[in-house]
Amino acid sequence: QVLGKGFKRGVVLSAGSFLVYEAYGLISRFAEVHASAKVEEVIEQADYLYGSGETEKLYHLLVQHKTSEDAELLWRLARASRDLAQLSSTSAEEKKQLVYEALEYAKKALERNESNFAAHKWYAICISDVGDYEGIKSKIANAFVIKEHFQRAIELNPKDATSIHLMGIWCYSFADMPWYQRKIAAVLFATPPTSTYKE
């Protein structure tokens, strides 16, 4: 009889645990779907603001999601931070801070999704911007990384005109590099970045 009661209690507890587990699973799935829907909503709103040229509003919308794990949100935040840095109303101090912030967001977007072409594109753009604050050696060293990420962006999305255009600018910059800069590059690096007009 004692065994019987213990067995019944065990069955009741097991059933209760199972129900709790199932409920938790349903809540988790609902939360994921809800979070996904919210992300899509924010992206839709962000794209509308970007298309309308509302740079400040766009930045303030996206910066609320800076801890997001979604690469689509993060590269858009990198772009918004960079665009805000480019505004004439932004002070030199704020510009520098935003440029470095943009790089962090782009890097985070890449870490979250290595197959996202836009994350590669904006990471390359942001590294290039940071180079303006870090001197010629850093700028030349970063040139290799920039080229690699533009190439990867083009591989992932061969129809993205911006990535192709920026890759063209990269090639043109190194094909058109003045002789004295070439000399500096050769002193700093055994094989400095090079390109041709044909490329």
Looking at the domain assignment, is residue 114 inside a domain? yes
Tens-place pLDDT, residues 38-86: 888 999 999 999 999 999 999 999 999 999 999 999 999 999 999 999 9
Looking at the domain assignment, is residue 95 inside a domain? yes
Looking at the domain assignment, is residue 3 inside a domain? no
Residue 145 belongs to what domain range? 37-189
State mean pLDDT over 154-161.
96
Looking at the domain assignment, is residue 170 inside a domain? yes
What is the C-alpha separation between 54 and 48, in angstroms, rounded? 9
How many domains, in total, are found in the chain? 1
Looking at the domain assignment, is residue 198 inside a domain? no
Tokens for 117, please give them. 């072409």
State mean pLDDT over 176-197.
73
Looking at the domain assignment, is residue 1 inside a domain? no
Q: What is the CATH number of the domain that holds 140?
A: 1.25.40.10
Which pLDDT band holds residue 1 (cuts at 50, 70, 90)?
Answer: low
Res 116: pLDDT: 97
99 to each of 3, 11, 105, 110, 126, how far by Cα in Å?
Answer: 70, 61, 10, 17, 7
Mean pLDDT of the chain: 83
Q: Among 17-21, 128-132, 138-142, 178-182, name the one with the lowest average pLDDT.
A: 17-21
Q: What is the pTM of this model?
A: 0.76
Q: Is the pLDDT of residue 96 over 90?
A: yes
Looking at the domain assignment, is residue 8 inside a domain? no
Looking at the domain assignment, is residue 94 inside a domain? yes
Q: What is the CA radius of gyration of the chain?
A: 25
Between the two ends of the chain, the Cα-to-Cα distance in Å is 87
Res 2: pLDDT: 47
Q: What percent of the chain has pLDDT over 90?
A: 58
Which pLDDT band holds residue 37 (cuts at 50, 70, 90)?
Answer: low
